[in-house]
């Protein structure tokens, strides 16, 4: 088994901390204790915390793009793809302990750099574009009931997933996510998503 390099280990630890506590909720000293390296070594890889946060968001954007592409590859119907999308956001809650990185960082956007904000905007843009394509397919395959404008459907679906996450995280109650997304799930004509993400 290949051992992860120090930079990857740092990014993994920082992502978990940011998703649980927000980007202001942990320090390099916290990472140093968790990873077991000196803070000077962290500064070697990421001179400032803003560099670390931007790197996190850039990596996260790429990872989610791959997961959305996998949904396209594995699932034929638009309904199943939306179920897979909702499952991604549900899984990111880790039982109510964390948020997806984009939502977690957005909660404290006033202290983020322009570059990080740009990465968040790019992330949301790529997700909205994917959702719009899915809803455009739904208008053809009929696997989601009552599809109107695909761009408006996409915006509503992303807001729903993000808001349902915040609601569930605030109470550490997964039922909040499930209740919030139930009406969307009821619009889908197919069975449960077969995605294994």
**Residue-wise pLDDT tens digits, 23-47:** 999 999 999 999 999 999 999 999 9
Taking only the tens place, the pLDDT of each residue in 167-184 is 999 999 999 999 999 999
Residue 10 lies in a domain: yes
Is residue 155 assigned to a domain? yes
pLDDT at 189: 82
Q: How confident is the model at residue 2 (pLDDT cuts 50, 70, 90)?
A: very low
Phi/psi zone of residue 94: left (φ > 0), alpha (ψ -120 to 50 degrees), beta? Answer: left
d(CA 41, CA 60): 23
Of 89-93, 111-115, 182-186, 190-194, least confident by mean pLDDT is 190-194
What's the structural domain count of the chain?
A: 1
What range does the domain containing 42 cover?
6-186
Q: What is the CATH number of the domain that holds 181?
A: 1.10.357.10
Q: What angle do CA 77, 80, 86 make, to 5 degrees?
A: 145
Tens of pLDDT along 69-104? 999 999 999 999 999 999 999 999 999 999 999 999
- Over the chain, what is the mean pLDDT? 92
152 in a structural domain: yes
In a domain, 197, yes or no: no
pLDDT higher than threshold 70 for residue 4? no
Is 195 inside any structural domain?
no
The predicted structure's pLDDT at residue 1: 43
> Is residue 11 domain-resident?
yes
**pLDDT tens digits for range 121-136:** 999 999 999 999 999 9
- Report the distance separating Cα 136 and Cα 111, nearest Å: 36
pLDDT over 90 (residue 197): no
**Does 54 reside within a domain?**
yes
Q: Is 77 inside a domain boundary?
A: yes
Q: Is 33 helix (H, G, I), strand (E, B) or coil?
A: helix
Predicted pLDDT at 92? 96
């Amino acid at each position: 088994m290949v051992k992860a390099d120090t930079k990857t280990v740092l990014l993994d630890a920082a992502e978990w901390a940011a998703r649980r506590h927000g980007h202001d909720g942990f320090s390099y000293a916290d990472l140093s204790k968790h990873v077991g390296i000196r803070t000077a070594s962290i500064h070697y890889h990421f001179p400032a915390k803003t560099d670390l946060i931007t790197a996190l968001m850039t990596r996260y954007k790429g990872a989610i793009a791959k997961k959305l592409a996998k949904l396209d590859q594995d699932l034929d119907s638009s309904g199943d793809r939306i179920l897979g999308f909702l499952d991604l956001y549900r899984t990111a809650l880790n039982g109510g302990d964390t948020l997806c990185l984009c939502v977690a960082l957005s909660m404290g956007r006033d202290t983020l750099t322009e570059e990080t904000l740009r990465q968040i905007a790019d992330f949301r843009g790529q997700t909205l574009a994917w959702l719009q394509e899915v809803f455009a397919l739904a208008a053809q395959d009929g696997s989601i009931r009552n599809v109107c404008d695909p761009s408006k459907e996409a915006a509503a679906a992303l807001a729903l997933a993000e808001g349902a996450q915040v609601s569930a995280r605030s109470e550490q109650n997964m039922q909040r996510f499930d209740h919030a997304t139930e009406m969307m799930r009821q619009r889908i004509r197919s069975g449960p998503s077969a995605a294994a993400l």
